[in-house]
Chains A and B, each alone.
Chain A
Amino acid sequence: MTLGNILEWLIKGFVWVLILLGGFAYLTYYERRALARIQVRIGPNRAGPFGLLQPIADAIKLIFKEEFMPARADKLLFILAPIITLTPALVITAVVPFGNEPFTLFGRTITWQIADINVGVLYIMSIASIAVYGIVLAGWSSNNKYAMLGGLRSTAQMISYELALGLSFVGVIVLTNSTRLIDIVEAQRVYIWHLGSLQIPVPMWNAFLQPVGMAIFLIATLAEVNRAPFDMPEAEQELAAGYHSEYGGMKFALLFMAEYDKMIAICTIAAALFFGGYLGPDLSGIPLIGGFLKYVQGPFYMFLKVFILLFGMIWLRATLPRIRYDRLMAFGWKVLLPLSLVLIIVSAVGVLAAQEFSRHLFLVGIPILSLMAGFVAILGIYQSLRRKEHARA
């Protein structure tokens, strides 16, 4: 470990944190504009061209607000909680690769990844679990029963959905035979299927191989980052903003920032694990700018995928009402957890069958089995709902 190495990590980390902070600011803008369009409004359009300076205006407002603290709050934890919440959200994406074409700068080969560790998925899992501490401490230290309830709900919800989330990671690990994120992304490269004389290119995205696993991952991450329809910890209507109801000014902004940075982080991870990460149509063949595009196409595809996934989250928020708490728990424990266990078996059987017989079984068998498992789960939900209807009638 040389000084140059440490400096490289520091600079890369610093740049990525800056990108996340800027991304947070403009994600709030993106969300407000997209939500407004869905609700047939225009959204913020006054500050600067197209309202682009709105996040800066918000930031200035929050910075100049009074730092208020409830009288009998636990002072140390009250100040520490937003920091504990934000830090995991910032560091969780350190292992995600943003491109595969290293470039040379000042005689050093620089990769598009902050830390290339071989247990990347485990790292993501462990950091994701830490995130709950900040929220529950914020709720508890405020000395407010609504904040406390928000913190408690958040703990229960995040621990419950972490299981399904972790198991959907396992499905990916089984399919790609690695916990290193760059290997996981590389395993999703386009595969040319020779069908007689036909050559069919198949993108081996894990989202296609394991569609139900992808759905479980997306649902569980929604619950992990407390987004609608799983936003009970915040629940403006019943808990008065839940765990951050006593926070104001920059301390609130940190909690808010953590939430939105978690959204970005989770979409980045989803893009890497299930949607082929930085892979996409090769643009380096384009004349003149092809040489430059060769380096930036990876980050560009990554950005595009994250952007679309973020829209999905906003779209779901605009569409779905908040789910009832017992239903949330029942869904997490009785549907997602067994289903993700079944999907691991499906993936494992598919991988073994592909080794034994033909690689094409891998491409066809796993998605079909996975969809069948998903169908059985929906059947279960349907019957349970119908039983409830009968009981009511």
Chain B
Amino acid sequence: MQDAIAAFAKALELAKSFAKDPEALRALFREAMRKAKSIPKEPFKDLCGYFQAMLRLIRAYYRGDYRDVRLVNLVIIIGAIIYVLDPWDLIPDWIPGLGFADDATILAFAVQKTRVTLDDFAIWESTAR
């Protein structure tokens, strides 16, 4: 857990530079889109729904459709996406059975911090559009 947090700190540093750069966010979203089908769902269990919400929020954010996110929460969300997409994180993603365990830990942590933001975004999606 400690190691995972340390590895996540690196992703957060990168996330800070992404947060104000719509082009970088678009590229990150595109990468997530490409990898969406190859990332296994089992290690993430119920968190898959929140991970998908993070991706949709990032897209709505860089498009300027939705901006109702505090910077600190945005950075955590971007950091979590970067971490999950990075195949060379704490436990490399190609290690069978374990590769995504650290990703699930980080995602759970990020969801815990940003749940309200993600829930509010989902409500906006189903009421405002």
Q: Is the A/B pair a real complex?
A: no
Using a CB–CB distance below 8 Å, which chain B residues touch chain A?
none
